[in-house]
Structure 1
Amino acid sequence: MDRIGQAEAFDAIGDQYDLAFPHKEGQVAGGAWLTGQLPAGARVLDLGCGTGLPTARQLAEAGHLVTGVDLSEGMVALARENVPGGDFRVLDFADLEDQALGPFDGAAAFFSLLMLPREEIPYALRMLHGQLREGAPLALSMVEADLNDFSLPFLGRTIRVSGYLRDELRRVVRDAGFEIAGEDAYAYAPASTDVPPEIQLFMHCRRRP
Structure 2
Amino acid sequence: MSEASGFEGYGGSSGVLPDRTGQAEAFDAIGQHYDDAFPHKDGQLAAGRRLADALAPGSRILDVGCGTGLPTAQQLVGAGHSVLGIDLSPGMLDLARKNVPDQGAEFRRLDVAALRAEGPDGVGLFDGITAFFALLMLPRAEIPYALRLLHGLLRPGGLLALSMVEADLDDARIPFLGHTIRVSGYLRDELRQAVRDAGFDIVDEDTYSYAPASTDVPPEHQLFLHCRRG
8 Å CA contact 1:153, 1:195 repeated in 2: no
Offset at residue 4 of structure 1 (A) = 2.8
Partner Cα distance (1:157, 1:195) in 2: 15
Answer yes or no: is 1:143 the counterpart of 2:195.
Answer: no
Report the equivalent of 2:75: 58
One-letter amino acid of the counterpart of residue 78, structure 2: E
Q: Report how many residues are paired.
A: 208
| Structure with the bigger percentage of helix | 1
Residue 100 of structure 1: how far off its partner (Å): 1.4
- What CA distance in whole angstroms lies between the structure 1 residues aligned with 2:53 and 2:198? 23
2:62 aligned with 1:40, yes or no?
Answer: no
Structure of higher CA gyration radius:
2
CA deviation vs aligned residue, 1:47-91 (integer Å, no higher than 9, x gap): 010000100000000010000000100111111011112100011
AA aligned to 1:4 is T
Measured after TM superposition, the shift of residue 37 of structure 1 is 1.2
Query: Matched residue of 1:105: which SS?
Result: strand
Question: Secondary structure of 1:148's partner?
Answer: strand
Q: Equivalent residue for 2:154?
A: 132
Q: Judge conservation of contact 1:155–1:194 (CA < 8 Å) in 2.
A: no
**Would the alpha carbon gap of residues 125 and 31 (structure 1) be closer, same or farther in structure 2, given more than 3 Å must change?**
same
- Give the SS at the match of 1:135: strand
Percent sequence identity is 69
Q: For residues 108 and 21 of structure 2, what CA distance do their matches in structure 1 show? A: 16
TM-superposed CA distance for 1:197, in Å, is 2.0
Q: Which runs of 4+ in 1 moved over 6 A?
A: none
58-67 or 185-194: bigger deviation: 185-194
Match of 1:133, SS state, is: strand
5 Å-filtered alignment, 1:50-199, equals 50-85=67-102, 86-97=105-116, 99-193=121-215, 195-199=217-221
**Distance in 1 between the 2:133 and 2:217 partners?**
15
Which amino acid counterpart does residue 46 of structure 1 have in structure 2? D
Partner of 2:32: 15
Indicate conservation of the 8 Å contact 1:30/1:139, yes or no: yes
- Give the TM-score normalised by the residue count of structure 1: 0.97
Instruction: Report the CA distance between 1:118 and its aligned residue.
Output: 0.4
Counterpart Cα distance in 2 of 1:56 and 1:145:
26
Aligned-partner Cα distance in 2 for 1:88–1:11: 15
Q: Which amino acid aligns with 1:19?
A: D
Change (3 A) 1:17 1:92: same
Question: Which whole-Å CA distance do the structure 2 matches of 1:178 and 1:36 have between them?
Answer: 20
Q: How many angstroms apart in 2 are the aligned matches of 1:114 and 1:164?
A: 9
Q: Distance in 2 between matches of 1:46 and 1:175?
A: 22
TM-score, normalised via structure 2 length: 0.89
